[in-house]
Structure 1
Amino acid sequence: MDNAAIDVEQFEGGAAQRLRLSGVWRNTTIDAVLGQLNDLRSDSHTRVEIDISGVSKLDTSGAWLIRRMQLAAAEHGDAKVVGGSEVMRELIAALPEQPEVPPPNLSNRSPVQLVLDPIGRFVIDIWHDVVAMSYVLGSAVRGAQSKEKRGRSASIASVVNQMDHMGVRAVPIILLMSFLIGAIIAQQGAFQLRYFGAEVFVVDLVGILQLREIGVLLTAIMVAGRSGSAITAEIGSMKMREEVDALKVIGLNPIGVLVLPRIIALVIALPLLTVIANFAALYGAAVVTWAYSGITFQVFLSRLHDAVDYTTLAAGLIKAPFMAIVISIVAAVEGMKVGGSAESLGHHVTASVVKSIFVVILMDGLFAMFYAAINF
């Protein structure tokens, strides 16, 4: 087997250079020219021709070495590969201009870099998510058609179908969870207030806490875990099967077709689920206070009427549509990030739930501070 060889020829008065390659350029034979290549890198010519007509056999390792020669020569002038078969030239041209960058060696980093690097990456990821969420929201509002001035609203059938999945089918678990939460809060509140002879004020505690904070917050968290993960999984699986690309091919906006009905359905369903959760929690609290403290249902309702008003109910319900929008958009963004593997799908479903719950809790805190600032 002939080893790889390079014959250097100068022309155009030394301004140009022709490299005639010959022999077998494979992984087992290219070691013979590595030293010569290092010497050639120090040369600078305005034009370099790499003639591969003498190369008898070529594999990826040899093609990559020739590609590196071409890129190194191109830094000083024009460099091109000539001669040889079309298959060889296509193999060389198909190689990337830059090799894959190996992961950084963390052992050489200072403690400050080790601390700041993940923080910086986290901030950049947050910014990318904000940009992606803005894009998804804008594309969803634009409508299903991909052309301007041809947008249309979401299909009513799609919205109703999503409301059935996200709202109606979530009622049983919301009822059970809220009933138990209301019962637990009432029992713990009555137990602590008993020492002060003020057990009746547990009604105030449960009513205000449930209607303003706990009702919408826990319902949104349940919806984020149940419906948010479903949105990510549905869109992600469509992305894996290239159905999203198919929508683009037929002239539809995938965000408008897939995301907008889910946003509308969740904006309608979450406030209704919050109302159901409030009723269930108050009923659970009434049952526990009757059994634990002897507070009758009539006394419970009378005290509840005095403790809460319409602003208390509105304070919780106002949050629901905003939380619904955030949950659906975060889920859609994570669904659009899914790659071609099942591992990627599982990773983004998990990220969707975690991010949605975090943003929901953050929004609840911001609303609480806003309500306090305006004395609402």
Structure 2
Amino acid sequence: MAETVSPEFALDESDERTVLRLTGDWTVQHVQDVDDALRALNVSSPLAVDVSDLGKLDTAGAFVIDRTLRAAGSAEEGEPEIIGDHPNATRLIAQIHAVSTPAPESPAQDGSIMALLDRTGRSFMHIASESIATLAFLGETLATCARMLLQPWKLRWTSIVAVMEESGLDALPIITFLSFFVGMVIAFIGATTLKSFDLEIYTVELIGYSELREFGVVLTGIVLAGRTNSSFTAQIGTMKMRQEIDAMQTLGLKPMEVLVVPRVLAMLIMTPVLAFAATLAGIAGGVMVAWLALDINPGVFIVRLRDSVPLDQFWVGMSKAPVFGLVCVLIACRQGLNVGGSVQSLGRATTTSVVQALFSIIAIDALFAIFYMELDI
């Protein structure tokens, strides 16, 4: 076993800088021998470290060296100045310096009008850049999907079916359950409001129009935004953190084809199915309230619904479902691919994914309402 040499140091001072020359082994066993002497140093000029004659070095020694540099004011800006060659001194001291550097304090909030305008402008530019990046990702996704559909033998059918089950069939109970009670709430509100006008029978039209046109598909989109978006973002983000996507690219596999396309196709297939089930569940909730509270027979309810509510209202709602599904999966996959190497970035990406999906669904539904109003549908 090699003998350990006690650590020593010497100072070479000049007008331009002071060089701290290190010798011996700066390890946890003996670094305390020079700790007091290093603390007593009083250096006025910038301090550099010469590691040419340095022996062994571990993190304890690197910490003491970095602390000395900080005390001399030489490591406040940029990396410490290291002179000479050593197998691991530069790397260890730089790592300790990076870990020991305190996080910058958040600037105090300025309450002036200019500061408010500055924050508003930055927020607007951030929203604009996010919108442009999402549109670019949409174009890349559509191009990749079109290319894969023209070459169906390249599609990963196992992945598509697995996503259909995970994000479609597994979400069916909660979507139908919530939609059933939303239908009951709409029926109670309609019955309470219309009863004062002796128009309780029009509760049927209220339930039909609201469920077929809006609530069934919107509720489906909201549940998918909270449930599926977070799941997709967490899955892809975890793969990004573990460098599985880098390994995938090394093997010649394209993340867009392996991760994004199966999820997009699965959501385009399952979202209309879920919206249809949610619509039926909402109408069923309205039928139950109408039967128990208004004494409207279910047969009469269905006949009046068929005669009073045009079929085009159903297609209005169903036309939104693929768009909502596409928006959810696009935002989820993009945020997942944007995850960095830390757990904090994964949490931020998941939160951003859900918030953006919810906002997009409500905004797109409003645009659909304006569009169909102009078409008089």
Q: Are 1:139 and 1:253, in contact at CA under 8 Å, matched by a contact in 2?
A: no
Q: Distance in 1 between matches of 2:126 and 2:225?
A: 21
In 2, Cα distance between equivalents of 1:239 and 1:226: 20
SS at 1:5's partner residue?
strand
Decide whether the 8 Å contact of 1:207 with 1:304 is kept in 2: yes
Change (3 A) 1:193 1:27: farther
Structure 1 contact 4–32 (Cα < 8 Å) conserved: no
- Paired with 1:7 and 1:343, the residues of 2 have a C-alpha distance of 45
Q: Helix, strand or coil: the match of 2:252?
A: coil
| C-alpha spacing 1:22/1:350, structure 2 compared with 1 (3 Å) | closer
Alignment TM-score, normalising by the size of structure 1: 0.75
Which residue of 1 is the match for residue 257 of structure 2? 256
The offset of 1:126, in angstroms, is 2.9
Could you tell me whether the CA contact under 8 Å between 2:62 and 2:96 is conserved in 1?
A: no
> For 2:125 and 2:12, how far apart are their aligned partners in 1?
47
1:5 aligns with one of 6, 11, 15: 11
Asked whether the 8 Å contact 1:4–1:23 carries over to 2, the reply is: yes
CA distance change for structure 1 residues 153 and 182 in 2, over 3 Å: closer, same or farther? Answer: farther
Give yes or no for the alignment of 1:201 onto 2:197: no
Q: Distance between the aligned counterparts of 2:181 and 2:91, measured in 1?
A: 68
Q: Distance in 2 between matches of 1:271 and 1:374?
A: 22
> d(CA) in 1 for partners of 2:327 and 2:65?
52
Deviations 1:244-266 (A, max 9, x none): 22211111111321121111111
How far off is 1:306 after superposition?
3.1
Q: Which residue does the alignment assign to 1:304? A: 305
Counterpart for residue 325 of structure 1: 326
- CA offsets, 1:284-309, max 9 Å, x none? 21222122212223332232223322
The equivalent residue for 2:29 is none
SS, match of residue 35 in structure 1: coil
Residue 45 (structure 1) aligns with: none
1:2 offset after TM fit, Å? 7.1
Distance 1:257 1:162, change over 3 A: same
CA distance in 1, matches of 2:64, 2:117: 38
Deviation at 1:283, TM superposition (A): 2.2
User: Following TM superposition, by how much is the alpha carbon of 1:81 offset from its aligned partner in structure 2, in angstroms?
Assistant: 7.2
* Deviation for aligned residue 1:137: 3.2
Q: 1:143 to 1:207 in 2, by over 3 A?
A: same
1:158 aligns with 2:154: no
Alpha-carbon spacing, 1:256–1:302, altered in 2? closer, same or farther (3 Å) = same
Pairing partner for 1:36 from 45, 48, 57:
45
Cα distance in 1 for residues equivalent to 2:135 and 2:109:
38
* Preserved CA contact (<8 Å) 2:66 2:97: no
* C-alpha separation in 1, matches of 2:260 and 2:269: 14
After superposition, what is the alpha-carbon deviation per residue over 1:20-46, rounded to whole angstroms, capped at 9, x for unaligned?
6646899974985742239xxxxxxxx
Residue 293 of structure 1 aligns with which residue?
Answer: 294
1:159 Cα deviation from its structure 2 partner: 1.3
Secondary structure of 1:107's aligned partner: coil
Residue 348 of structure 1 aligns with which residue? Answer: 349
Contact 2:22-2:50 at 8 Å conserved across structures: no
Gaps spanning 5+ residues in structure 2: where?
1-6, 27-33
Aligned pairs for 1:1-376 (under 5 A) are 5-8=11-14, 22=21, 29=38, 34-37=43-46, 59=62, 83=84, 85=86, 87-88=88-89, 103-104=104-105, 106-107=107-108, 109-112=110-113, 115-116=116-117, 118-143=119-144, 154-342=155-343, 344-376=345-377
Structure 1 residues 233 and 18, CA, compared in 2 at 3 Å: closer, same or farther? closer
Q: Deviations over 1:163-204 (max 9, x none)?
A: 122222222222222222112211220121111111111111
For the structure 1 residues 326 and 61, does the alpha-carbon distance in structure 2 shift closer, same or farther, using more than 3 Å as the test? farther
Does structure 2 conserve the Cα–Cα contact (< 8 Å) formed by 1:63 and 1:91?
no
Relative to structure 1, is the Cα distance of residues 192 and 105 closer, same or farther in structure 2, using a 3 angstrom cutoff?
A: closer
Q: Contact 1:143–1:153 (CA<8 Å) still a contact in 2? A: no
One-letter identity of the residue aligned with 2:324: M
Does the C-alpha gap of structure 1 residues 84 and 33 become closer, same or farther in structure 2, counting only changes over 3 Å?
farther
TM-score with structure 2 setting the length: 0.75
For residue 215 of structure 1, give the secondary structure of its aligned residue in structure 2: helix
Name the CA shift for 1:100/1:117 in 2 (closer, same or farther; >3 Å): farther
Distance 1:53 1:276, change over 3 A: closer
**1:150 deviation in Å?**
9.7
Root-mean-square deviation over aligned CA pairs: 4.2
Quickly say closer, same or farther: Cα 1:152–1:113, change in 2 above 3 A: farther
Deviations 1:326-351 (A, max 9, x none): 11111112322444555554443333
Deviations 1:340-371 (A, max 9, x none): 55555444333322321121111111211222
Q: CA deviation at 1:271?
A: 0.9
1:221 Cα deviation from its structure 2 partner: 0.7
Q: Is the 8 A contact 2:18 2:46 kept in 1?
A: no
